[in-house]
Structure 1
Amino acid sequence: SGCDTQTVVNNNGSTEYGLFQINNKIWCRDNHIPHSRDICGISCDKFLDDDLTDDIMCVKKILDNV
């Protein structure tokens, strides 16, 4: 992500959020993908702030699921 904590919209309509580019189709929920799996159980907007605690917790879940 180039140390950018913003969003990147993909060609498939999904969005990557925050420093770790966490995808809204599987890992978090937002208004763009109403049927997200939301495995991390968190709003994607939480990955856009300077607090990386929740980002890191979600990344741990991602690593446990791959």
Structure 2
Amino acid sequence: MPLINPVELRRLVTELDALEAAPEGPGTERRRADLHYTLCVSTGIRDAARAVEQARRLLTPQLEGLAPAAA
């Protein structure tokens, strides 16, 4: 698995999310394709939808094994 910079990964996912709300156009579609490609390379997964899913999973904090906070 490739080394992943979490800051850069978050930036890519955030930009992709912003494009989902943007008006469609040739520039928007091209940038979306570029982001999907970069996420595929970053995660080592060829399928764009699975790469985005893996990126989101990697960015989700792991809560298992953590003790509850003291009140």
The TM-score, its normalising length taken from structure 2, stands at 0.31
Question: Based on CA coordinates, which of the two structures has the bigger radius of gyration?
Answer: 2
Higher strand share: 1
Higher helix share: 2
The TM-score, its normalising length taken from structure 1, stands at 0.33
